[in-house]
Structure 1
């Protein structure tokens, strides 16, 4: 029987998540990760695998702990409420922590070396899956008359994702919560509504 690990795996994962969030996949050095986790490199990789495996675990943790506002949004009654909850949730998350602004899913890897390509693709796939869920919810809204017959759910879903990703980029660049909230409201001002006068 092996010796028990001398560190808390969950705490270590939370610590390295913040490093990846702040520095991105390639910007986070092994020294950064081990220092944040408070363990030596062999112990860290014994627990999580290599750097890519560690990042994937951190990304899963990020989705579970920080992006819960998205599945919450998909349960709301109207498409506009869904859109508002997503955009304002993005503003909140991307400006909540001064030491790591922006979004791990965006900051992770937008462009990188060939070695980082599997991670970049994993992030693209994760964003695509989220967009597909949003598109499905908006298709339902259109079928229910909550969106007009002329609405294009796939374009609206892509529009919301584009604005929310832009919020993440601008938060990382230093935009204030107030400015990003105003941008979210500007985007919502263009949101189409269905024919039901009650909506």
Structure 2
């Protein structure tokens, strides 16, 4: 009691993030987590609570460390540039390491048991937040005249999210970066607008 922790919380989060990213929530056991973190199970319980609470901390860390491309994309001058940045950055994220292929938010969503329902809902909320930001960016683009009057910002955001989710699954299945970039380019051809900043 009152004993100083003998491990670095940030290192534990990074180590367990890698495991959840590779195996998904349901596929990750406490043995996997303790082995990766180099701490005993009671220490993990003490620091983070249960597996779900640890995963939620890991999801926050993932967003903080690996999802910078979303705010970057939202700041691009045109909707088409925003779409290009988010698509190609997603390809880079999904293929940067064979050990962490795909996306934590997609890999982690393979959660089928009743006990995993809160995690599944957290991942739905995580992805929905990104889609909302993208939709709002496209609404602004339409108001500025960057997107044509017939453009549907809601459908466009949902389309790009569907493509990114699909690319994450394909990356996990071993698709090459070159093939996923070709997919991203094909998807970009469906985004209206010329790519030049509106007057």
- 1:109: Cα distance to partner? 1.8
Residue number in structure 2 paired with 1:163: 163
Structure 1 stretch displaced more, 105-114 or 11-20: 105-114
Length-normalised TM-score, structure 1: 0.96
Residue number in structure 2 paired with 1:129: 129
Residues 197 and 164 of structure 1: CA distance in aligned 2, closer, same or farther (over 3 Å): closer
- 1:110: Cα distance to partner? 3.5
Distance, in Å, in 1 between the alignment partners of 2:65 and 2:58 is: 10
- 1:112: Cα distance to partner? 0.8
Contact 2:26 2:110 in 1 (8 A): no
Distance, in Å, in 1 between the alignment partners of 2:14 and 2:153 is: 36
Residues 197 and 36 of structure 1: CA distance in aligned 2, closer, same or farther (over 3 Å): closer
Residue number in structure 1 paired with 2:187: 187
- 1:111: Cα distance to partner? 4.4
Matched, 1:98 2:98: yes
Distance, in Å, in 1 between the alignment partners of 2:190 and 2:154 is: 16
Residue number in structure 2 paired with 1:55: 55
Q: Does the residue aligned with 2:99 lie in a helix, a strand or coil?
A: coil
Q: Does the residue aligned with 1:117 lie in a helix, a strand or coil?
A: helix
Distance, in Å, in 2 between the alignment partners of 1:110 and 1:81 is: 32
CA RMSD of aligned residues (A): 1.7
Matched, 1:78 2:75: no
Length-normalised TM-score, structure 2: 0.96
After superposition, the C-alpha distances for 1:64-121 in whole angstroms (9 at most, x for unaligned) are 1001111110000000000000000110000001111000000102441111000000
- 1:45: Cα distance to partner? 1.4
Matched, 1:141 2:156: no
Matched residues, number:
199
Contact 2:78 2:197 in 1 (8 A): no
Q: Does the residue aligned with 1:99 lie in a helix, a strand or coil?
A: helix
- Tell me which stretches of 4 or more aligned residues in structure 1 moved more than 2 Å: 196-199
Stretches of structure 2 lacking an aligned partner (at least 5 in a row): none
Contact 1:19 1:32 in 2 (8 A): yes
Residue number in structure 2 paired with 1:29: 29
